Amino acid sequence: MTGMDAAGTEAAALAGRIALVAAPTDQAAEALARLEAAYGNAALDDARIVVALGGDGLMLETQHRMLGRNLPVYGMNCGSVGFLMNDFRLDGLMERLAAAQAASLHPLHMRAYVGDGPPVEALAINEVSLLRETRQAAKIRIQVDGKERLSELICDGVLVSTPAGSTAYNLSAHGPIIPLGANLLPLTPISAFRPRRWRGALLPAEAEVVFDVLEHAKRPVAAVADYTEVRDVRRVEVRENRAVTLTMLFDPDHGLSERIIAEQFTV
């Protein structure tokens, strides 16, 4: 069987097995109606692939909904930010899905402690960030794999990012862009005051990072894993969760690895 025949067979097998989800915008709703009319809309329990219509926020939301199922998600940009999305086109969807390249990602696992209660746990596809809650700068101690690396970071905040999320908040905070498969996690300060010249670190993907909030009553800090926020944290533990795999699909000429590399040459 030739590659063209195999692609055609795969496209035929996807008929009736595509679930469509859309952001709550007029643009995404219009795209949803057009795709439903052309291809139908399967229930998530029957789907082989989810097509997400919106921006990067919808991709993250959809991936969180798919946690534990690892159902591939193919995004089409109907929003303002579409780094994780493919271009929107009505024609040839089945063929595009059959030819799409998969990018497998592992989320970060956050365990945030507030008071004496049990920790709040959440997964992050982009990053886990700690952010000051008031006008007072945060004071944070950083340990990596049980060894103290910074006794006191005075800052607006600090974050740990996945490679996929390294082009998001991490890049805005002047952190490095990490290619997929590099097995590295960027640790990036947000508006660091002291140590003034510290620009962050690149950590092995298997590293565990622990943040202890100093003077937490005077200088309260919130922890955010994607869009799960925990306020007034005292301690936050972060590590990659290799037991969970997320799959995003991209057109062959514009895969996620290529986008991450290209982003480093954007001027």
Question: What confidence tens digit (pLDDT) does each residue in 129-179 have?
Answer: 999 999 999 999 999 999 999 999 999 999 999 988 898 899 999 999 888
57 vs 22, higher pLDDT: 22
Residue 197 region, left (φ>0) first, then alpha (ψ -120 to 50), else beta? alpha
* Residue of 119, 95, 255, 100 lying closest to 181 (CA atoms): 255
How does the average pLDDT of the chain come out, rounded?
90
The answer to whether the CB of 183 falls within 8 A of the CB of 204 is: yes
Question: What confidence tens digit (pLDDT) does each residue in 199-230 have?
Answer: 999 999 999 999 999 999 999 999 999 989 99
* Residue 252 pLDDT > 50: yes
* Top-tier CATH class for 3-105+245-263: alpha beta
Q: What pLDDT is stored for residue 8 in this prediction?
A: 55
DSSP reduced 3-state for 113? strand
Question: What confidence tens digit (pLDDT) does each residue in 176-193 have?
Answer: 988 877 899 999 999 999
Confidence of residue 10 (pLDDT cuts 50, 70, 90): low
Which residues line the annotated binding site for NAD(+)?
56-57, 126-127, 156, 164, 167-172
Tell me which DSSP letter residue 52 carries. Answer: E
Which residues line the annotated binding site?
56-57, 126-127, 156, 164, 167-172
Q: Which of 56, 87, 251, 253 is catalytic?
A: 56
* Residue of 7, 255, 236 lying closest to 122 (CA atoms): 236
Residue ranges matching CATH 2.60.200.30 in the chain: 108-240
Q: 161: which 2 tokens?
A: 């990012």
DSSP reduced 3-state for 93? helix
Residue ranges matching CATH 3.40.50.10330 in the chain: 3-105+245-263
Confidence of residue 26 (pLDDT cuts 50, 70, 90): very high
Has 56 been annotated as catalytic?
yes
Superfamily of structural domain 108-240: Probable inorganic polyphosphate/atp-NAD kinase; domain 2 (2.60.200.30)
CA 17 to CA 12: how far, in whole Å? 10
